[in-house]
Structure 1
Amino acid sequence: MNKFLPAIARVFLAQIFLVSILISLNGIMNTPDGYIAYQNGLMSHGLPGIFAPISVIVQLLGGLTLFIGFKTRLTAFVLTIYTLINALSYLFTFTIMPSPVNLIPLQQALQYLAITGGLIVLMQNPMTTFALDNASQTKKRK
């Protein structure tokens, strides 16, 4: 059982990015002005519009490579930076408009910080069980 836990943890982290971006891409593709709405959503949290395509690429490629366990350490590093930027943007939004009624930006920031923590652990210990990283290391040893 213990040999499956690292792979399960890696897949759970990956699904956050994959499911999120697939939902966002569905909205972008099936809604008139969907991309503009996506950009505006990011800008409402203090992120520039150029962050929209970067966000799509990072979440899609990062989620996929994390899911299959390819270049896990590098992927975890890139996603750590991405989630930290998102956490800071939500904290920034909350500090500009603090409201005891609307704590959603604070909750989002804390969730992104928790994901960042998981990615830092993954970066430290890439958990190569059932991963392409492990297959390439096995090949090199032979």
Structure 2
Amino acid sequence: MNAHPIAPSPAQDALALVGRILLAVLFIPAGFGKLTGFAGTVGYIGSVGLPLPQVGAALAIVVELGLGLALLVGFKTRLAALVLAVFTLAASFFFHNYWAVPADKAMVQQLMFMKNVAIAGGLLAFVAFGAGRFSVDRR
């Protein structure tokens, strides 16, 4: 086995940057929306029966906004992507539980659930391979 991995190409680094931007574009506005609509977020979290909805809303803001920004600039990318992936999967089970909703709502919820699973997969690729050259991590 080669002890020295092949360096990523400039195209791979550019694609990693674009991938981080596209993923961050989902999390940053969502976190900002939760921050500016905190009461509504707390109400929504409470409506699914989760305990301590204020704490959950604050946690969601920190994860989505804070770690979304970290992912965007490529700071502590592997850790940020891992936490975002776990958060995304956990949120899917509570907020897109298609198996427990009426049949007329199941298709949309299943689509949202699977979209989140795919997003988590993309985030795990950043956990595995890092942010690329165009990142704070590489500076």
TM-score class, shorter: 0.7 to 0.9
Instruction: Return closer, same or farther for 1:113/1:130 CA change in 2, 3 Å cut-off.
Output: same
TM-score, structure 2 normalization: 0.81
CA RMSD of aligned residues (A): 1.8
- Aligned identity (percent) is 28
Q: Which amino acid aligns with 1:44?
A: S
Match of 2:34 in 1: 24
CA deviations 1:100-132 (Å, max 9, x no partner) are: 355322222111111101011110011322100
1:41 Cα offset (Å): 1.2
Match of 2:79 in 1: 74
CA deviations 1:64-87 (Å, max 9, x no partner) are: 100110000010111111001011
The runs of 5 or more residues in structure 1 that have no matched partner are 29-34, 136-142
Contact 2:77/2:137 (CA < 8 Å) preserved in 1?
A: yes
The runs of 5 or more residues in structure 2 that have no matched partner are 1-9
* SS of residue in 1 equivalent to 2:86: helix
Q: How does 1:8-87 map to 2 (within 5 A)?
A: 8-26=18-36, 28=37, 35-48=38-51, 49=53, 50-87=55-92
Q: Which amino acid aligns with 2:75?
A: F
